[in-house]
Amino acid sequence: MPLIESPAVTLYDRIASFYDPWSRSVTEDVGFYVDHALASGGPVVELAVGTGRIAIPIAQAGIDVIGVDSSPEMLAVARSGAEAARVSGRLDLRVGDLREPPVPERVPLAICPFRSLLHMETEAEKLRALRAARALLEPEGRFVFDVFAPSRQDIDETHDRWLEREPGIFERAVWDEGSRTLSLSVRSGEDTVTFGLHWLSAPEWLALLDRASFEVEELFGWFDRRPHAGEEDMIFVCRCR
Ligand SMILES: C[S@@+](CC[C@H](N)C(=O)[O-])C[C@H]1O[C@@H](n2cnc3c(N)ncnc32)[C@H](O)[C@@H]1O
């Protein structure tokens, strides 16, 4: 049986019920994206919006969000989160593929947080996604997203080991440096889901962004806005060229 069972599109439906507990400790990026949303004035398109981990705080800050995701189950969690936070009116959730987002509107800001672009398997698919994001933007619009490329230390410390990331939720990273694919398995109870993340280096992302007609204004190495200096994390702030 192949390690990566099927496309991410359907796998996230299976993870939706434990995605929020699994990602509970990931909070460092929220303020960063909310600040960009406020600076843009909105509305904001979030590509791969998931359960609304970022979109709901943006809506709470008073900015309208159009959220696109291919997983109806992830969107169902986002919908109930938005209701609980009393911001349903600010969140417009649409099932769709980020390479062809069902968004005729043009906006000042599109975002794609938490490494979601790494679900695009090839450079050609990544370029397609970048061009789709570009097409959503007003002439002065910005696209902000984050991705990563693993460090040697990260690979050595985590490769093929089950680690308890949150109580009762286990994670295993299998790194293939040849194909530059991380097969990430997440286990909760009886359910194990494995999906692929396909990384690139910073220069390769810069080349793709250039081909998608973006000018890169900033490349950060963390959400505290330190300039990227070889860190695993890469946070791109791009403007339409
Ligand atoms: C790591 S989660 C990120 C969710 C959210 N942005 C966050 O920061 O928590 C990745 C999301 O990408 C979505 N996804 C994967 N491939 C997609 C595609 N081709 N089009 C749209 N959404 C996709 C998944 O359904 C999932 O919700």
Tens of pLDDT, residue by residue over 225-236, are: 999 999 999 999
Residue 69 in contact with ligand 1 by CB distance below 6 A: yes
Residue whose pair of structure tokens reads 């702030």 in the numeric block? 237
Q: Report residue 115 as tokens.
A: 């490494």
Query: In one letter, which amino acid is 152?
Result: R
Q: Is the pLDDT of residue 3 over 50?
A: no
Q: Report residue 157 as tokens.
A: 């410390």
Residue 114 in contact with ligand 1 by CB distance below 6 A: yes
Cα–ligand 1 centroid distance for 69 (angstroms):
6
Provide the sign of the torsion angle of the four alpha carbons 44, 238, 97, 165, taken in this order: negative
Tens of pLDDT, residue by residue over 76-126, are: 999 999 999 999 999 999 999 999 999 999 999 999 999 999 999 999 999
- Torsion, CA 38, CA 43, CA 49, CA 54, rounded to 10: 20
Contact (CB, 8 A) for 143 and 238:
yes
